[in-house]
Amino acid sequence: MKAFARFLYILSLAAFFAACGGGYGGDGSTNVPPPPPPPPPPPPAAVADFTVLQLDPLAGHSRGEAKDINDNGQIVGWSSAQNQTAVLWTIDAAGAVTVQDLGTLPGGTRSIAYGINNLGQVVGLTDGALGSRRPFIWTASDGMRDLGVPVGLVGGWANRINDAGQVVGVVYPGEEGHGTFGIWTVDADGNVLDERNLGNLGGEKGVVAFDNNVHGNVVGDIFFELTGSGTNQTGFFWSEAGGVIEIGTEEALGINDFDEVVGWMPDTLQGYVWTAAGGLTVIPAGIAMTINNSGQVAGRTDGESVQQAYIWEVGEVKLLPMPENKDFSWGQAINDAGWIVGWSQRDVDGVSHANLWIPN
């Protein structure tokens, strides 16, 4: 009877451990229940209904990138064989695309066009006899000219120009110095009326002004020196009347005429839309580069497996079609018609090609 009772006791212990989901194996190891299965991955983003075109580089060149587009469908960027050359792509009524070499300043070997307004005025970066980093303006009537820099500075570049002729970018005190906030005013012929250095806005490591709107309000990044070593940064919004507002994100990259600002939060790999009144609205994708006056945002996703140009509108992210034979794409600028420009490239060789996405 004692043996039988001991047998029943052992059975009851076994049942207890089984009910608890654990016990001990014959080798003395703990039998831990298997972990729950991981949640299913989120469904892939839908693909937007766009047609994607490749913008060919100059004859004899093999690569290029598109940096900006105006509301007339004129596109600027660069084309390259070895050195980059600023270019202007124009699309006629029949849809034919032509590419124009915008050249360099005298003595220059390279140039990049970063911005174009609705008057067709182009701004960017070139080199030349006056230095390795010079801001330029280009017009159809007069070609490329040096914008100049404020007294005491030696160089810089221009990122954007609005329809009022306000140009924003970066100016430098020396070849190795930190950049500060440069702002120019030009007339309809591209003649410089005013140039100012607005300083570093409190950032010991410099400032970059990326974009402006029709009201002359500007967004960009301020770089701070961390205690010890390293750099921290914050996006900013600047207006002539109100001065600087630090947005608190690391990147402020684009602004529309309603003072809606877009950028990127690297810690979460997400984009955002910011307004002074409403604060941040998160875009569950990667870098938000640009926003038009309809509130459409374009940028690039930041997934581990694929980085792809996207459009965000009405709270939804949609991928832009990947150009043929490409592994990566980037949406850089959007106009008020919803046309998006940027570039794509192959993983195997890193060769980039300029692209235009047109909504169907």
Identify the pLDDT of residue 267.
83
Higher per-residue pLDDT: 69 or 10: 69
Tokens of 38: 């991981």
Whole-Å CA distances, 322 to 10, 198, 353: 65, 40, 12
Cα 136 → chain centroid: 22
User: Is residue 54 pLDDT above 60, yes or no?
Assistant: yes
pLDDT, averaged across the chain: 87
pLDDT classification of 158: cutoffs 50, 70, 90: very high
pLDDT classification of 21: cutoffs 50, 70, 90: very low
User: Is residue 303 pLDDT above 60, yes or no?
Assistant: yes
CB 67 within 8 A of CB 77: yes
pLDDT classification of 7: cutoffs 50, 70, 90: very low
Average pLDDT estimate for 226-255: 87
Q: pLDDT per residue over 193-211, tens digit each?
A: 999 999 989 888 889 999 9
User: Is residue 281 pLDDT above 70, yes or no?
Assistant: yes
Q: In terms of C-beta density within 10 A (0-12 exposed, 13-18 middle, 19 or more buried), how is residue 226 classed?
A: exposed
Higher per-residue pLDDT: 206 or 14: 206
Identify the pLDDT of residue 224.
86
Whole-Å CA distances, 303 to 60, 175, 254, 310, 350: 34, 36, 22, 12, 18
Average pLDDT estimate for 290-308: 90
